[in-house]
Amino acid sequence: MTVRTPGRGLAAAVLVAALAAASAMSVGVARAQGAPPVPAGGVIAETPPVTLLYQNFPNPFTPSAAGRTCIWFDLAQDSEVRLEVFDLRGRRVKRILPFTGFFGVVPAGRYGRAVTGQCDPVVSWDGRDEDGRTVPTGVYLLRLDADGQHLFRKIVVQVP
């Protein structure tokens, strides 16, 4: 997406892009499971204008064999990426990225979406810690470190 703002600087263009992304996110929250909108066909080819960490969905979620929470993020430029889940005491519960096959400098783009616009199992969380145990019911923090930013979202886990 290219944002052109005649007579305005780069900062204004970035602000317009951020507001457009925020608007898209608010529309997405109203959709089923809170997913941001995805164009027909599910393929998004252009480089995102800003680095974003979307709210995971579903949220709250119940960990189970099929129960995962989807994580979507956009990178505006090539960057090393770290995506982790922490408890409210600041202890790391799970490292999602990097992992084998997805490490080092990650190209700019949109991540976490499968071709259908749904959840990519590679960039999702099943509610288990590093040792494979299901975490207790509670609030957790999802942290994305990328493109010189530290972005957070809350994840609510409900264990039956």
Taking only the tens place, the pLDDT of each residue in 78-89 is: 999 999 999 999
Least confident of 40-54, 70-84, 90-104, 110-124: 40-54
What phi, psi does 65 have (nearest 5°)? -55, -35
Total-model pTM: 0.70
Predicted pLDDT at 20: 38
Backbone dihedral region for residue 66 (phi beyond 0: left; psi -120 to 50: alpha; all else: beta) = alpha
Interval 105-160: pLDDT, tens? 899 999 998 766 678 888 899 999 999 999 999 999 999 999 999 999 999 999 88
